[in-house]
Structure 1
């Protein structure tokens, strides 16, 4: 069986979704009888066992034409089933879709934007859906109650990278980045986002309001700068910086931190929390979205709306015995996660979905779909083509 995967997300970003597929694709390619071909639009890492197909970069303006090009690849390589790392679609090849979250739908994003319209298109076109958490499945079915089958499979993490790093390596990392004098807290990824659902300001506001100066703050990734007003309000003793790290250095940063602070108001899964626990890093987070599925009882749980509650959580992290307990609990919890569930669920769904390709009802659906999508392509050209 031939599975074509659009590696479009590697072009768009290097965040958690890219990390998921970087692990999943070689594992799928290792399955007997499954040939994995990947459209490389740019930014695709070297992936063992997959066939790389160079492909044009993704643009929002001509998404229906993009589907036409994808279908031509499907036809040329006699593809049995298609999936995408994000929300692209072919015209007639049966599709499995992995759904990560319903953040745009739940947090009042502008759903008229073509980017999110294409997500709706992909959900409508796909014949099987896989959610990466029970929470995401519930939200998906709330928004699309007529979907027939939505499986759930949790992602894993890279066990070879994310584990407790030895003290010598941690000390070298801390000295290199200039965080070797005081205990420090870590934030990972975006601190803001639409309607502030990432809620990263809560840590800064809490330390400013209560004068908490026991920790420095190391922001890893996310927005390129920390808001100047947030920095200015911190107690004078607190050092806060934003840096970009490789995965190996991220593991060292987490291993040496007093805690990961992740007060997100919604997650489709929560990979940064899982990676932190795997490194023995104590975690403060919420139970919102899927986060409780990841953490169990292994973290300090807050609501995410109260500075006083965050202050109390930071107080707990000041205790060495509490940190030790959280490290043990986090390592035990993280050990429950690997990639096997998601890989096998995608492979099983692909096999079942491929069977649709010659069924009369699916062929009728695909014929109508192609007509509508090609009509959209003509409208796109008339709408966006440059004028003289």
Structure 2
């Protein structure tokens, strides 16, 4: 059975959708069985190169096509249908919303990661809102199967757009094997020294953008820092859009000396950094899944996260849930965890057990079942 996976919408820097794409492709292709895969990807993203494996063919397209939306449209709507016809593809799986409108009988599968193009349009560029809303609406009528990464995202789509019965599957993300809680003390010390961190620190990992609600985290941390000058706030991740306001607020609060920005951290440092932190905070206003929260649990990091969207679904009872719009709620949760060694211990035990239910092997297996279910239709 021939499957073409369109990974061209994946960003080169591996955050969110990129982590999903890399791990899904890795686990799908390491044991392809009766499936033959053709992977369409940008030519500057060699982390997605699985072409050395049996039954895998890589199809590279110039990355410059994706800097201009009009060129991307031509690739998705002219070149991709041509490939489907030429290669006699039976299922095409688009990993990032947009899909070919003409497929010559090839069945379509699309992954929806969240509904922010509808629920939070202010966090996207206007042209992208128009582009992706168009495809998301069309998916309801034209796609054979939609994959949602959480039940929350599925419910949002059902409310906003409506979904035919049996038209969608919920297939959660997994966590990599490197996310574990048994790193030796020497490795934790080394990662603290590398990034200039104190023994005790509050950690956030993710893109720096308004949706992640970091301004309220900074406000909550200001209250903590007034009581404990030895605690640091560490913000690790790439700069997103509209990040300037966060830095201005930090200056106003005179917190610059207590906050460390690491930038986009090396992949090999991410798990040890999570294992080393005193508490991990993920106060996002909206998530389709919330992979950083899952990875933090896997590393045994005492975790505080939002009581909204998919996050309660991911963390279960293994983390403290707060109202992300309440600075007081955030600060109270931080104070509670930082002041209680017993609570930290309970959360460090509960996290890895909860995270063990989410694996990329399971994600890949359930996705392959979707492909095979198309075969019988």
* TM-score normalised per structure 2: 0.86
| Moved >6 Å (runs of 4+) | none
Offset of residue 270 of structure 1: 0.9
Q: Which runs of 5+ in 2 are unaligned?
A: none
Label 1:284 to 1:55 Cα distance change in 2 as closer, same or farther (>3 A): same
- Does residue 77 of the first structure (1) align with residue 90 of the second (2)? no
Q: Which residue in 2 is equivalent to 1:6?
A: 6
5+ long unaligned stretches in structure 1: 357-388
Q: CA offsets per residue over residues 330-375 of structure 1, 9 Å max, x none?
A: 111111111233222221221222445xxxxxxxxxxxxxxxxxxx
Q: Would you say how many aligned residue pairs link Structure 1 and Structure 2?
A: 352
Q: CA deviation at 1:103?
A: 1.3
The 1:239–1:199 alpha-carbon spacing in structure 2 relative to 1, beyond 3 Å, is closer
1:144 aligns with one of 154, 161, 167: 161
Report deviation, 1:54.
1.5
Query: Which of 322, 343, 353 is matched with 1:332 structurally?
Result: 353
Say whether the 8 Å CA contact 1:231–1:240 is kept in structure 2: no
SS of corresponding position for 2:10: helix
Structure 1 residue 51: deviation in Å? Answer: 1.6
1:255-277 superposed Cα distances (whole Å, 9 cap, x missing partner): 11011111112111111001011
Decide which of 201, 209, 218 is 1:184's aligned counterpart: 201
Tell me how far 1:278 sits from its aligned partner: 0.7
Change over 3 Å in CA distance of 1:146–1:293 after alignment to 2: closer
Distance 1:270 1:258 in 2: 20
How far is 1:125 from its partner?
A: 2.7
Correspondence for 2:184 among 166, 170, 176: 166
Structure 1 residues 8 and 236, CA, compared in 2 at 3 Å: closer, same or farther? closer
* SS of alignment partner, residue 8 of structure 1: coil
Corresponding residue for 2:74?
65
Residues in 2 aligned to 1:245 and 1:35: alpha-carbon distance in whole angstroms: 35
Residues 129 and 302 of structure 1: is their aligned pair in 2 closer, same or farther, counting only changes over 3 Å?
Answer: same
Given that 1:60 and 1:115 are in contact with CA atoms closer than 8 Å, whether structure 2 keeps it comes out as no
Q: Does structure 2 conserve the Cα–Cα contact (< 8 Å) formed by 1:11 and 1:44?
A: no
Tell me the CA shift for residue 245 of structure 1: 1.1
Query: In the alignment, which of 119, 129, 145 is matched to residue 106 of structure 1?
Result: 119
Show the 5 A alignment for 1:274-353.
Answer: 274-318=294-338, 319-353=340-374
Alpha-carbon distance between aligned partners in 2 of 1:142 and 1:12, rounded to the nearest angstrom: 32
Contact kept, 8 Å, 2:275 with 2:300, in 1: the verdict is yes
Contact 1:28 1:34 in 2 (8 A): no
Higher relative contact order (CA 8 A, sep 6+): 1
State the Cα distance separating 1:329 from its structure 2 match: 0.8
Pick one of 249, 252, 263 that aligns with 1:230. Answer: 249
1:52 deviates by 0.6
CA-CA distance at 1:55 after TM superposition: 2.0
Aligned position for 2:59: 53
**Which moves more between the two structures, 55-64 or 211-220?**
55-64
- Please tell me whether Structure 1 or Structure 2 has the larger radius of gyration of its CA atoms: 1
By how many angstroms is 1:123 displaced? 4.8
Match of residue 17 from structure 1: 17
The match for 2:99 among 86, 89, 103 is 89
